[in-house]
Amino acid sequence: MKKIHYGWFILFFSFFALLTVQGARLSFGAFIVPWEEYFGTSRGAISFVGTLSFVVYGITQPLIGKAIDKWGVRKVLSYSALIAGTGVALTLTASTYLELWLWFGILASIGFGGASSVAASVAVTRWFNRKRGLALGMITAGFGAGQFFIVPLAIVLIQTWGWPVASLVLAGILIVFAFPLLLIFLKDKPADLGMEPYGGMSEKSSLNKGDGSVVTPVTYWKHRGFWCLLIPYFVCGFTTTGLMDTHLVPFAHNHGFSAATAGAAVSLLAIFNIIGTLASGHFADYWNNRWMLFTLYAVRAITVFLLVYTHQPQMLLVFSVLFGLVDFSTVAPTTLTATRLFQSVNVGLVLGWLSFAHQVGSALGAYIPGWLFDRTGSYEAAFVFSSILLIGAVILTYFLPDSAQRDRDKKPSALTT
């Protein structure tokens, strides 16, 4: 019987890290209404907890690559789970929403930032030279799995026993299960086990900018492709983890939909999110990533705009299916394009800046809709504004250079094949 390459175990535990840690982070939307009532404050004030969380998360992202170089993926992912769990547990001690900002918005968010797609993507990049796009899609599906398992669990616990019990359970999952398992089973790189990456060693080639000069750590930020990835990824964060993962449940409550309907909407979104990210990761290895991103952002713009006209539970469920398919499916082609364009640069640094932009977008996507809701009494303005941003992302994606795709087509033995 052929021995399973340890890279697949790395993939599983990276997936598990994102499922548990990011699942806890994505549960924030379920806590908005009960926290709003418990602390006697406004939707905007509680939404700012999410904004602060995304800002702290984002600040950590350019540092993750350096932290991994110093301490390794294993320690970064495992101890980040412990920090996140500790922060979530300490929300039980909060007596004012200012303390909530401290424990969830800052401490837990440092852990959320450490156990992010940047660290998991670096792990996959080190362990996979073949089927890398599929592997990236699979770890990204960890976000969707977290939505499917953790967010509905939080909703049920809040509805049945209240938000303190929900916080305690989520913290227990991170501290008792995620932390020790990641610390024991994750390995930093194949050489630690005397192995080669899955697919064997590969050549490293430098891609050129449009003017023919080599991309270096000093010049990558001048590369057109960097900005055509960074700005749409900002919009991606605004419209996914910012807008939808924070405000979809409150939007359902605002329309009078039951907790069961809200839970079903989140579960459907999560299921189709997993399907979309897995499919995206698979096809990213074979299709033109530029046109994939162009299509994904365009479909997302249409689905978000349709929420303006969503007033029935059935329409909310239809939205969850459609949006789920394009929710996190942008991650794999974005990450794969970045690794192809900037192979000669510290890829962890580039991915860190992309993730930083995503989290800044998420921060604004969490706060601005709450701010608009306090002033208009609905989310319609936020949905229209988000659709306009997505159209801008579509336009910028069109101008992505095709050099990475051409490099792949000419060198099928390189990095991703």
Alpha helices, DSSP H only, in 18-131? Answer: 23-26, 28-38, 43-90, 97-100, 109-114, 117-127
Domain borders along the chain are 6-189+214-410
Cβ neighbors of 375 (< 8 A, separation 6 or more) are: none
| Cβ pair 77, 86 in contact under 8 A | no
> What pLDDT, on a 0 to 100 scale, did the predictor assign at position 84?
98
Q: Label residue 260 by pLDDT band (50, 70, 90).
A: confident
Q: CA angle at residue 126 from 120 to 132, to 5 degrees? A: 75
Query: How far apart are alpha carbons 341 and 358 in whole angstroms?
Result: 19
Is pLDDT larger for residue 44 or for residue 313?
313
> What pLDDT, on a 0 to 100 scale, did the predictor assign at position 211?
40
Determine whether 29 is exposed, middle or buried from the number of CB atoms within 10 Å of its CB (0-12, 13-18, 19+). Answer: buried
Tokens of 183: 């610390």
Closest by CA position to 266, among listed 252, 280, 278: 252
Phi-psi region of 377 (alpha: psi -120 to 50; beta: other; left: phi over 0): left
| 36-66 pLDDT per residue, tens | 999 998 878 888 888 888 889 888 887 887 7
**What is the average per-residue pLDDT within 297-313?**
91
| 366-397 pLDDT per residue, tens | 889 989 998 998 899 999 999 999 999 999 99
What per-residue string of b and e applies to 381-395 under the rule 16 or more CB within 10 Å gives b?
ebbebbbebbeebbe
Q: Label residue 414 by pLDDT band (50, 70, 90).
A: very low
DSSP one-letter string for 393-411 = HHHHHHTS-SHHHHHHHH-
- Among the residue ranges 65-69, 78-82, 136-140, 169-173, the one predicted with the least confidence is 65-69
**What is the average per-residue pLDDT within 110-128?**
88
Superfamily of 6-189+214-410 according to CATH: MFS general substrate transporter like domains (1.20.1250.20)
> What pLDDT, on a 0 to 100 scale, did the predictor assign at position 202?
59
Cα 131 to chain centroid distance, Å, stands at 20
Query: How far apart are alpha carbons 391 and 195 in whole angstroms?
Result: 45
> What pLDDT, on a 0 to 100 scale, did the predictor assign at position 355?
85
- Report for 66-70, 346-350, 393-397: range of highest mean pLDDT: 393-397
- Start-to-end C-alpha separation, the chain: 24
Element (H or E) spanning 158, and its range? helix 132-161
Q: Is 186 strand, coil or helix?
A: coil
Query: How far apart are alpha carbons 278 and 238 in whole angstroms?
Result: 22
> What pLDDT, on a 0 to 100 scale, did the predictor assign at position 145?
87
Torsions phi, psi for 198 (to 5 deg) = -60, 125
Cα 348 to chain centroid distance, Å, stands at 16
Q: With 90 as the cut, is the pLDDT of residue 214 above it?
A: no
Is pLDDT larger for residue 165 or for residue 222?
165
Q: How high does pLDDT run on average in the chain?
A: 86
Report the half-sphere exposure of 23 (CA within 13 A, side-chain side): 31
Q: With 70 as the cut, is the pLDDT of residue 217 above it?
A: no
